[in-house]
Structure 1
């Protein structure tokens, strides 16, 4: 059993989707968990989900405030921190304030807090993203194989042009800041970063279709009829199930070989068209909401798509990725309970 602090939003969209599943696996693996929440009401929501498990809570109202985690990490005998709290949404009015600052200050803030106030911590795991790996300038890049060696070359100037660039930059700069902290500060702890692309899978601890993480929103849009006449472009053609991603986070505090490594976590390819086909095959009740066989769009690009190397995740963390059909089927089943 390891004493773990988990940061995340848990009951809202974005990173809370991942945090909820990480919490689930930490509990199943028998770890002692303290988790950050933004309010006592959020803590009560989680207590109800785990009535037979002792989970402790620390309230962190705003991760972008300097010193936000100073008190949260003061836990006697704390051994590991899993930091999932970072924004992923495009509802942005000010890219720096809404995306860049929360990601960068949140990540460096938690590392500073651990070094200053939690000397017993040995492992830190940080949720990053494929956004910190992918290069927009390469396009579909059928000749390129992405791996942990790749870094997004986005600049601050580009980041402020639009929310999409801003999001990718926020993940890139936050992850680079973490590695720079490790190099400059030489703390007692190691770091592992998790770099997933789109994250699908069942929703837990969520209460409404409007609060879904960005990746799952496209599946919601299929079953609510928004793609009936035209399927939008896929955009990012690789994915992972949230349960596999959550397991990667937990394995990274359990496996010695994960220390100071970056992990590119993907199960493989998908297209929006395939998502529609999986839903149609498994949920005939949505027939009237789904695009017909002759509806165009959402397919793979004609010239091919980039390759990926996920061997480090498989070999070091021992992950066997679940198939797309299971992930999407389980997701749709979970959405049926929401309104």
Structure 2
């Protein structure tokens, strides 16, 4: 059993991380922004007392010293899984609303651990394929992405628009974490998780279909008939199921070989057209609103798409990825549980 601090406990990914941590017998304190969120998570896990599942309120992760108190625990923490970070494009000030919270949130928790939690040996950070992809190369079919790649986005490009700002926030935050490790030489190791689009079932006690994580919105929109005339373009053609990603986070604190490594976590390719076909095949009740076979859009580009190398995740963390069909079916079933 490991004593773990999990940040951003009410998030889409963290909710699944929490379930797996508890299943694996770890003892968890999770940070949330409000007592109401803590109460809802606690109510959904009635079999765990406060020794196994407890909470710390951190209202704003971008504040200096935000995690100073949260990292203190009795018994003391041995690992930290940091998932908390902003992800939305509804911003007016990219620097203030995307870049600063991501970078300050990540370096802030590392500083707090070094200062106040000397027993922590492992830190896992949720990063993103956004910190790997080169957005200026398009579909780049001749290239194979791996952990060796870094998004070359600059500070000047970052503040041009929210999409650039989001990618830059992930890139700058992850680079800041590795720089901290090199410069500060703390007692702990770091592992970073870099997933592309994260699909998969929602945790019913936290989500309504209005507050869905951004990646799953495409499945909701197809189910709700919003893609009947034209399927939206897929955008990023790589995906992973949230449960596999959550397991990677937990394995990274359990497997020694994961220390000080970056992980590109993807199950492979998908397209919005494939999602629509899976929904049509398995949920006849939605047929009326689904795109016809001749509906345009949502397919792979004719000139091909970048390749990927996910061998490190398979070999070091021992992950067998769920297929797209299973993920989409389970996601749509989870939507039904909140009234879709």
Rounded Cα–Cα distance in structure 2 between residues aligned with 1:87 and 1:233 = 24
Where in structure 2 are the equivalents of 1:162-173 lying within 5 Å? 162-173=161-172
Mark the runs of 5 or more structure 1 residues left unpaired by the alignment: 11-15
Match of residue 327 from structure 1: 327
Q: CA–CA distance in 2 between the matches of 1:75 and 1:310? A: 36
Which consecutive unaligned segments of at least 5 residues does structure 2 have? none
Where in structure 1 do 4 or more consecutive aligned residues deviate above 3 Å? Answer: none
Displacement of 1:337 in angstroms is 2.0
Q: What is the match of residue 13 of structure 1?
A: none
- Give, in whole Å, the separation in 2 of the partners of 1:317 and 1:93: 39
Alpha-carbon distance between aligned partners in 2 of 1:207 and 1:107, rounded to the nearest angstrom: 25
In 2, Cα distance between equivalents of 1:232 and 1:92: 23
Q: How many angstroms does 1:201 deviate by?
A: 0.3
Match of 2:67 in 1: 69
Give runs of aligned pairs for residues 87-102 of structure 1, distance below 5 A. 87-102=86-101
Partners of 1:19 and 1:96 lie apart in 2 by: 25
Alignment of 1:32-111 (within 5 A): 32-54=27-49, 55-76=53-74, 77-111=76-110
TM-score by length of 2: 0.97
Question: What is the match of residue 219 of structure 2?
Answer: 219
After superposition, the C-alpha distances for 1:81-117 in whole angstroms (9 at most, x for unaligned) are 0000011111112111111111100000000000000
| Residue in structure 1 matched with residue 338 of structure 2 by the alignment | 338
Within 2, Cα distance between the matches of 1:156 and 1:280? 44
Query: CA–CA distance in 1 between the matches of 2:36 and 2:187?
Result: 34
**CA deviation after TM superposition for structure 1 residue 207, in Å:** 3.3
User: 1:79, 1:117 → 2: CA distance?
Assistant: 12
> Once the 2 structures are TM-superposed, how far is the Cα of residue 9 of structure 1 from its aligned partner?
4.5
Aligned residues between the structures: 334
1:35 alignment partner, SS class: strand
- TM-score, normalised to structure 1, is 0.98
Secondary structure (helix, strand or coil) at the match of 1:287 reads helix
Q: SS of 1:86's equivalent?
A: coil
State the distance in 2 between where 1:122 and 1:247 align.
19
Find the counterpart in structure 1 of residue 17 from structure 2: 22
Q: Distance in 2 between matches of 1:222 and 1:94?
A: 31
SS in structure 2 of the partner of residue 336 of structure 1: helix
For 1:56 and 1:136, the matched residues in 2 are separated by 40
Tell me the distance in 2 between the aligned counterparts of 1:206 and 1:230. 31
Contact 2:40 2:206 in 1 (8 A): no
Pair 1:147 & 2:142 matched? no
Deviations 1:238-266 (A, max 9, x none): 00000000000000000000000000000
Moved more, 86-95 or 297-306: 86-95
